[in-house]
Amino acid sequence: MSKQQTRTIKVDILARVEGEGALYVKLKGNQVLDVKLKIYEPPRFFEAFLRGRHFSELPDLVARICGICPIAYQMSAVHAIERALGIGIDPAVRQLRRLFYCGEWIESHALHVYMLHAPDFLGYPDGIAMARDHQAIVQQGLRLKKAGNGIVSLMGGREIHPVSAAVGGFYKVPSKSALKELVDELTWALDASLATAHWVSGFDFPDFEQDYEFVSLFHPEEYPFNEGRIVSNRGLDIDATEYEESFTEQHVQHSNALHSVLRGRDSYMVGPMARFNLNFGKLPDVAQQAAHDCGLQIPCRNPFRSIVVRAIELVFACHEALRLIREYEPPPVPRAQAAARASTGHAATEAPRGLLYHRYVLDQDGLITSAKIVPPTSQNQKRIEEDLRHFVSQVATRPAEEITWKCEQAVRNYDPCISCATHFLRLQLERD
C-alpha cells in the first residue's frame, strides 16, 4: 500500500453512545491531519430556561438533561442550592444520597460494560447479538443493571427521572425494612460484579497509554459521590466554588457542546479512570483486591482498560450499597426546610461518567437568575479528540474498516453521553 494513497472512509453513525455526534478523521498518508468529535445533538438551552424557575423545581427539571444519569443532575443541583441557602442535611439523608447514587452507578456502568462496550472487544454489533453466543453473560449483565435500577426505583419511584429527590433531603425516605428487601439481590450483584471484572480483564487491550491529567472529587474518608475537593494528579486542589477560576469552556464550531479545559494547562480526563486513580486507597478491600487480580496498574493510563475500571466501580458500588443498607436508620424528618434568600451556590458531584459541576444564582424569592452546568462529557470532549489523534497514528497502516472500528471503540472508552453534553456519532475517515 502506497503511503500517499488517497482513501475516504465514511461510517454514517457511531453507535452505542448516548446521543448524536459524528467523528471526523483526516489523514494524509499515515499522518493524522485533523480529528474532530462533532456533536450535533440539537441544543436544548437548559441554562437559559432555568432562569425564573424556583429552586424547589430544580431536581425535576435538571433530571431531564439526561435519561441515563438523572440522579447525578439531581444531586449536583440539590447540593448547590443547599450550599447557597446554608442548609445542613441530616447524616442519614447524606447516606441515602450515597445509596441513591450507588443505584445509578450500577445501572449505568452495567449498561455500558455489557451492552455498549463489551461488544467492541468481542466483535459484535450489539449486546443482543452477543447474547446469541453468550446468553448467560448478557443475562448476568441485564440482571446486574436491574439490581441498580432496583435501588433507584425503590427510593425514587422509577428508574428514569425518579421523583423523590428534594432540596434538603427527600420527599419521602424508605423504611429500614423496605431497604432490607434489596439485600439478597445486591449480595448476588456483588458476586456478579467480581465475575464481571474477571471476565472483562481477559479482553484483548490495545497497547496504548497517555499521560493524562486526571480530575475527580477527593474525600478524606470515602470513595467520592457528593462531597470532596476537586483534585488532579498534577496538583489541582480546589473547592467547587473555585471551579470557574480553574476551568474554562471553549465554544468550537464543530460542536454543540462546549469544550472544557484547565486554565493555563489543557485537556483533562474525568470519569471512572480518574476517580479510580485518585481515590484507589478509599476503595474497600474487596475492590482493591479485585483490581490487583485483574492486573490493573495504579495509575491506569490505558483508556481501553476503562471497562475493567468500571467493573471495579461496580464491585465498589454493590459493596457500598450493602454497607449503607446495613447501617441505615431513617432520618427524623425526610428533608430540612429551606428559606429563600439572594445567594449563589456551587456543587460538583461524581456522575457515572465523571465530575458534574453546577452553579446557581438565586434572588430573594428563590428564583434562579443564572445557571451554569458543566457535564462530564463536555469536559472529556477535548481529551477524546487527543486520544484519537494519538491512537489513529498508531493504527494508521491498518485496513480502513479496522481503523474505523477501533476509533469508535476509543470514543466509547469514555462512555460519552452526548445528550448530556448537548447527541449520534458519525465517523468519517478522510484520506487526503
Partner 1 sequence: MTSKVTRKPRIAVFKFASCDGCQLSLLDAEDELLGVAGAIDIAYFPEASSSMLKGPYDIGLVEGSITTHHDAQRIQQVRRQCKTLITIGACATAGGIQALRNWKDVDEFIRIVYATPKYINTLKLSTPIAEHVPVDFELRGCPINKHQLIELITATLAGRKPNVPTYSVCMECKRKGNVCIAVAQGVACLGPVTQAGCGALCPSFDRGCYGCYGPMESPNTESLSHQLHILGQNNVEITRAFRSFNAWAWQFRKAGEENERM
Binders of partner 1 among 275-294, rule CB under 8 A? none
Residues 86-115 interacting with partner 1 (rule: CB under 8 A): 111, 115
Smallest separation, CB 205 to partner 1 (Å): 20
Does residue 67 interact with partner 1 by CB under 8 A? Answer: yes
Contacts of residue 195, Cβ cutoff 8 Å, sequence gap at least 6: 140
**N-term to C-term CA, the chain:** 15
Q: Nearer Cβ to partner 1, position 41 or 227? A: 41
Show contacts with partner 1 in window 321-360 (CB under 8 A): 334
Task: At 232, give phi and psi (nearest 5°).
Answer: -140, 170
Task: Enter the C-alpha cell of residue 269.
Answer: 480526563
Cβ closer to partner 1: 16 or 275? 16
- Contacting range for partner 1; rule: CB under 8 A; set: 144-152, 225-233, 277-285, 338-346: 144-152
Strand bridging mode 425-431 / 8-14:
antiparallel
DSSP track, 72-108: HHHHHHHHHHHHHHT----HHHHHHHHHHHHHHHHHH
Q: Which of 74, 279, 419, 428 binds partner 1 (CB under 8 A)?
A: 419
How far apart CA 65 and CA 60 sit, in angstroms, is 10
Residue 244 Cβ vs partner 1, minimum distance, rounded to whole Å: 14
* Smallest distance from partner 1 to CB 76, Å: 16
Applying CB under 8 A, the span of 80-88, 179-187, 244-252, 317-325 interacting with partner 1 comes to 244-252
How many residues interact with partner 1 (rule CB under 8 A)? 71
Tell me: does residue 386 bind partner 1 (CB under 8 A): no
Cβ atoms 226, 100 nearer than 8 A: no
Spell out where 174-263 has E strands.
215-218, 229-232, 237-238, 247-250, 259-262
User: For partner 1, which is the closer residue by CB, 61 or 283?
Assistant: 61
Determine which residue in the list 86, 88, 91, 157 makes contact with partner 1, applying CB under 8 A.
157
224 near 275, Cβ under 8 Å?
yes
Residue with cell 483490581: 291
The mark string for 6-45 relative to partner 1 (x by CB under 8 A, - otherwise) is ------xxxxxxxxx--------------------xxxxx
Q: Candidates 163-171, 178-186, 296-304, 337-345: pick the segment binding partner 1 (CB under 8 A).
A: 163-171
| Three cell numbers written together for 81 | 442550592
Return the residues of window 113-142 that contact partner 1 according to CB under 8 A: 115-116, 119, 125-129, 131, 135, 138-139, 142
Vertex 226, ends 288 and 221: CA angle to 5°?
A: 45
Nearer to partner 1 (CB atom), residue 62 or residue 291? 62
Whole-angstrom distance, CA of residue 300 vs CA of residue 274: 9
Shortest separation between residue 377's beta carbon and partner 1, angstroms: 12
Residue showing cell 493524562: 212
- β-strand 343-351 against 215-218: which pairing, if any? unpaired
Q: Which stretch binds partner 1 (CB under 8 A): 162-170, 219-227, 283-291, 375-383?
A: 162-170
Return the axis-axis angle of helices 306-327 and 285-293, rounded to nearest 10°: 160
Site for partner 1 in 175-234 (CB under 8 A): none
Q: Residue 409 CB, nearest distance to partner 1 (Å)?
A: 10
DSSP state of 111: I
Tell me whether residue 160 or residue 395 sits nearer to partner 1 (CB atom): 160
Q: What residue has cell string 460542536?
A: 255
- Work out which of 8, 175, 250, 369 binds partner 1, going by CB under 8 A: 250
Of 12 and 191, CB closest to partner 1: 12
What is d(CA 76, CA 166) in angstroms, rounded to the nearest whole number? 12
**Residues 6+ positions from 49 with CB-CB distance below 8 Å:** none
Q: Which of residues 38, 275, 423, 431 is near partner 1 by CB under 8 A?
A: 423
Our finding on whether 64 is near partner 1 (CB under 8 A) is: yes
- Footprint of partner 1 on residues 391-410 (CB under 8 A)? 408
